[in-house]
Structure 1
Amino acid sequence: MCITIPHDDNLVKAEKEKVSKYLDLAHEITAMWNVESTVVVPIVVFSLLAKSFDQHLKKLSLGCWIKGRIQKAVVLETARIVRRFLTLEP
């Protein structure tokens, strides 16, 4: 699992980068497991969610309950980064 937390302006770009990054791996897995296809499902989160986020959750058989938990994790990590930055000595 690879999770990206991009700046607001880069959400769609980050999603596309994740798909292209793992495309070769998807082909390798398809051949290794002798299956018809493999799908790369990008999960890119920050304060907003991509329009495709719900579709990706369905592909992974995850309920919508996880959206809140993911957003909470992003907010907590952002707060941690801000606290760490604000406590730096000049």
Structure 2
Amino acid sequence: MHNRPDIALFDTEQKTCMLIEFTIPADDNIAKAYTEKITKYGDLAFQLRELYNLRTISILPMIISVNGLVETHLLENTKRLRLEPDVISASQKQVILYTTRIVRKFLQGF
């Protein structure tokens, strides 16, 4: 219920699907966030597999912490999406810059 991944990529010729979910947790919650995403979308993956008669369906959590730490499966998931490895460092940079913006806004409020 209420499961809607950020991106769903369907390959109708190969009969596959990749559910991609992005999250930016606190450093201490990286492993927990990965487990939650896999668990949360498991039922949806099963339903989509049955509904569209898919051969395979994958859940790919893309997780970088607020301080730029990378979850262990991120490189593997990036390769499965056929993305260049430098997309990870570019994503880390964007996450860190946004985190600093949030902190700066908060501190200006005082």
Q: TM-score if structure 1 supplies the norm length?
A: 0.88
Aligned pairs for 1:52-71 within 5 A: 52-71=73-92
Greater length-normalized contact order (CA 8 Å, ≥ 6 residues apart): 1
Amino acid at match of 1:28: Q
Separation of aligned partners in 1, 2:79 and 2:48: 21
Separation of aligned partners in 1, 2:87 and 2:72: 16
Aligned pairs for 1:4-43 within 5 A: 4-43=23-62
**Which ranges of structure 1 fall in alignment gaps of 5 or more residues?**
none
Amino acid at match of 2:26: H
Q: TM-score if structure 2 supplies the norm length?
A: 0.73
Large movers: runs of 4+ above 3 Å: none
Displacement, 1:32?
2.3
Paired-residue identity, %: 36
Aligned length: 89
Which structure shows the higher helix fraction? Answer: 1
Q: Please, what is the CA RMSD of the aligned residues?
A: 1.3
Which structure shows the higher strand fraction? Answer: 2
SS of alignment partner, residue 42 of structure 1: strand
